[in-house]
Structure 1
């Protein structure tokens, strides 16, 4: 017997019988016969209107098992499942709210996790529907129609190795969600104390003739302070039009210590004795950043078409002051006047040199219009068109002073862009030109960007979605994109970072030298081609188990990269970036970004997800504040989930330029200080929630790599082995609302949660050694992972 269950309040009521039929896939009512049983399915309110199935779904109970405080906290927790996109956003996904665009993630990041009804993670090509490029996964957050809470949270944590690194954080938010409005206000302050090299037992590297230990005067983790104030207001006008306004202010400061000031003194026998000055105190670098953001969005519908207009304005002001130590003339004059070289110098002899300064102001303005909807109907369904157009203006002004020399930059870029994508259904449930397939559709997209400083850049691509049966879906896509370097990569102020530890593969030594960072105005545009083939399987038995797999092939001409690891091959390719003395010792290195000739990457990503709730938003909707136990009393039930992802790199190599060796990142080459590309990167997590007690465990693993930097100078000694990376994080929490008797006895515990977090539970780190088993000085444990095991306790209260 068929059972008809009334829709929950979280589901959108059907508009008409035709809508029911379209969602359920059953024959129209006119074709049914007396006595037929028609089962009608309904799409949850706020779900993305697409035939592409989510790779991952999280229900309310799944969300609860993470113990996340906010949407931003939850997104960080599920990063392995939603990241790995192939776009330029560093793997960050496209974020939607109830199937619609938002002005920016700032709108949502501080909303409490209890307000979440469901989370859907969809493949990259779904982003086309909303005017984005098809190179980032899509995460759609569906919120409860009614929710209100004032939330306060206090966090405190520290490394178990002791000796600095204490963390404190204070957060407060006010959120009110209603069917026709949304308001959320939040503030946050956090502070991290410094960790010095001495506190982590870093071996002393003499840099002066007096061989004084400078490790207490150098930081591995700088002291930092961050303050954020944010507000968002959303309101519906009528049934289909809404407007959103978001404003954010962020203040951040960093204060790394750079070691002791030193002065070379010429003695009576013309020898040079370099002395450091602990009485002068540690040299420091003071960085202050102020960020302001204003965003607005108007979203509306006209018939079956949906559209939005988004505007954003951002300004970032950053100032860096780097101390340069003592004036050698004044110090030398003091010694010439009879001063004792080995005694403490009087203040009159400790004259400071003018510091290096760097100041930059980045301004960004954009306005983007997006519309999507059906253009005509076919037997298999409507053909949908998505259109987007926009204008952006970027400006960066920077001024730097290094050793008295002034350098300025004033770069402005205007960008006009337009994008169109078409989604064409070919078959659906036996209808269409290819009716044998349950579901089959193709899509195509094209975009054009006109940059004032780079000219026209094009992007085009196409894709296919094929579901032979309900439980299996195949996807395929191809995209070709031209991309220009950002203004920051071109014009950020040049900063000299003194006393940086660098491993020199050419001489097989660790040196303490100044490094140069900033922008490179000589960068050129790149061209990226990506092929992606995927499969998504959702099993009915056991319910809640899904399997995903993707093969991704990337080819990138003129890729933009940070300056790679200094091997002999890299020095030959970029000799102007490296300065050595007459003995071949490294004096300084310029780490500003560069262009390679070509990069080739092939990888396979496989994963599985399981949720005891079916992973489809199952379970009754939580009432009130959305807390377990806020509604009618239920017998406690164990809810658990598990996920496992493995990315296998088949190829990852870089062509520097013609006539130079190819960098094979899987076989002895690297572009960063952390070694080459791991063949396997694995992430797995498991979570459970029962009767107020929850736990979340995550394991990440990266296989071992090797870097060969051999030359005629050091044919064997400059090979380093980078061990595997292993990390285990634990989060356990207790929701007092589940214990009614305890709350009745202590009412102040109502809506309170206590959480314990342990990052790097096993206190492991990546071990690096040369062929003799010796750890280079620049790869001591404190440099690889200065924090180590970290324990944090947080107390959260909602009103």
Structure 2
């Protein structure tokens, strides 16, 4: 794409194809049918000193049928797959202590929930799950929640039997440091196996103003997946080394095909810390629950929210005999820090929203080139979006309740207000092929104006 102020010209030459030339087309058809039924019963069955004992029962079933048909010789169809699953679970919520009442009152509100379930796939083994949760509120303005769960899972129908398609894509080849156009194979992988997931969550909320005006949140989550399947990772030199049979090159070393179907894994470890706050107020005053009902519809409402995701660990082990891929340390291009913010101001008939996001810089290693000269450095990126809307009849009343302005809404959406884009450089400061500003983000800032009228 030419830069502003530059011109480009392209010359095409057309020739007739020989009569014997055969032009073939690929066509893949897929059909999915599903049925899902669920019944839930939630009931208090007994009264304990700290409150009612609640039992939750759920049962259900689902049936999914997927079939695909390829109309060419190179793209063989997968056999149709039918899956019928029956699941059931039972949970108990037990109140342990109550604030200012009974034994253990000094602990505040404390309750435990235990949920056990299973899912059976006809013709296969049963998948079990167990979830243990603890909720604690030592004071009215403080809440702490912890959850530990173990679940067995199996690849879904799409991962196993989605139709296989081949398309040509343009992507950056980090080994040769050039833009390539290989064939991209997507679809199902019938060789995937079962796995299990362990999840631990600990989070807390504090409302220092005593109401809903200001809420401060802090949370930690760790997930370990053993076996099972995941999507094909972002192509990096380390990923290519882990999947030599998935990334194909010709005699000159050029990328010609990538098998990007889901892959079986040995283990996937993730951990993150989350912190943020939400602030709500009306005309500069913090909003308490008792006051919220008294606020007139014409008053302005404001809110500000900020949340920070700090990725502590993200490692993918494909096989036990291969080193783990450190997606935060240069093998996967995953940023360690993500920050999102939102500011909203509005009243009936008018509103404005600002959404911002920021991510830290990333470096992707290329061990094929010595001294880090082939590493790609992704700079930190911040972007801001703006949304506005106006409803004249609602905002200004009867004067605009007739004629062209009646039942109308004007919206303005500005994406990437400051025209920011991802900057990528090599060790010497040059921009690698395929990472030019206009190749990464040819649109840049976009403005959309919408006028809608209900008749």
Counterparts of 2:49 and 2:372, CA distance in 1: 68
Q: TM-score, normalised by structure 2?
A: 0.90
Unaligned runs of 5+ in 1: 1-196, 205-211, 215-277, 279-342, 623-627, 630-635, 671-675
Structure 1 residues 705 and 584: alpha-carbon distance in aligned structure 2, compared to 1, 3 A threshold: same
2:176 to 500, 504, 507: 507
2:272 to 603, 616, 628: 603
| RMSD, matched Cα | 2.9
Deviations 1:698-727 (A, max 9, x none): 11111111111212x666343111122322
For residue 654 of structure 1, report the CA deviation from its aligned partner: 1.4
* Alignment match, 1:576: 245
The structure with the largest alpha-carbon Rg is: 1
> How do 1:126-525 and structure 2 match up within 5 A?
344-346=14-16, 349=19, 351=21, 353-403=23-73, 406-452=76-122, 454-498=124-168, 500-525=169-194
SS in 2 for 1:395: strand
Counterparts of 2:371 and 2:226, CA distance in 1: 32
Residues 56, 92 of structure 2: 8 Å contact kept: yes
* Alignment match, 1:536: 205
Residues 192, 228 of structure 2: 8 Å contact kept: no
Structure 1 residues 509 and 715: alpha-carbon distance in aligned structure 2, compared to 1, 3 A threshold: farther
* Alignment match, 2:395: 738
* Alignment match, 2:304: 642
Counterparts of 1:383 and 1:497, CA distance in 2: 56
Counterparts of 1:413 and 1:648, CA distance in 2: 38
For residue 449 of structure 1, report the CA deviation from its aligned partner: 0.7
Counterparts of 2:83 and 2:3, CA distance in 1: 46
SS in 2 for 1:356: coil
Q: TM-score, normalised by structure 1?
A: 0.53
**2:426 is aligned with 1:773:** no
Runs of at least 4 residues off by over 6 Å: 197-201
Residues 457, 482 of structure 1: 8 Å contact kept: yes
Deviations 1:584-636 (A, max 9, x none): 222211111102211111111111111114274954489xxxxx86xxxxxx4
Residues 532, 550 of structure 1: 8 Å contact kept: yes
* Alignment match, 1:183: none
For residue 548 of structure 1, report the CA deviation from its aligned partner: 1.1
Counterparts of 1:354 and 1:777, CA distance in 2: 32
Count of matched residue positions in the alignment of Structure 1 and Structure 2: 450
Deviations 1:563-603 (A, max 9, x none): 22333433332222122222322221111110221111111
Counterparts of 2:20 and 2:98, CA distance in 1: 81
Deviations 1:221-263 (A, max 9, x none): xxxxxxxxxxxxxxxxxxxxxxxxxxxxxxxxxxxxxxxxxxx
Counterparts of 1:412 and 1:778, CA distance in 2: 43
2:357 to 697, 700, 707: 700
Counterparts of 1:520 and 1:683, CA distance in 2: 35
* Alignment match, 1:71: none
For residue 753 of structure 1, report the CA deviation from its aligned partner: 2.4
For residue 447 of structure 1, report the CA deviation from its aligned partner: 1.0
> How do 1:533-572 and structure 2 match up within 5 A?
533-540=202-209, 544-572=213-241
Higher relative contact order (CA 8 A, sep 6+): 1
Counterparts of 1:430 and 1:350, CA distance in 2: 91
Unaligned runs of 5+ in 2: none
SS in 2 for 1:436: helix
SS in 1 for 2:239: helix
